[in-house]
Amino acid sequence: MDVMTADFGLAFEPPHDERAQRLAFLSLKQGRISMLESIQHSRRLISRITTHPVDMAT
């Protein structure tokens, strides 16, 4: 079941999704959001880029 779910995820993933996530991460600026929001947003983007999600406890 996990293999099928992963295959569906890859099949329906938008083209160049990883590249789009990397660009979003690189263009991330703190601006008007709080430090905590900035860190959470960064972690979400990193977890989308990498195959091993970021440990949210650290």
Question: pLDDT grade, residue 15 (50/70/90)?
Answer: low
pTM: predicted TM-score of the whole model, two decimal places = 0.40
Which tens digit of pLDDT belongs to each residue from 21-35?
777 767 766 567 677
Longest dimension (CA), the chain: 43
Instruction: Tell me the two tokens of residue 34.
Output: 């709080």
DSSP state at residue 27: T
Instruction: Tell me the two tokens of residue 28.
Output: 């991330």
Which tens digit of pLDDT belongs to each residue from 40-53?
888 887 777 776 65
Nearest-angstrom CA–CA distance, 6 and 28 = 28
Asked if 14 and 20 count as a contact pair (C-beta separation under 8 A), the reply is yes
- DSSP H helices, 12-52, are 17-26, 35-49
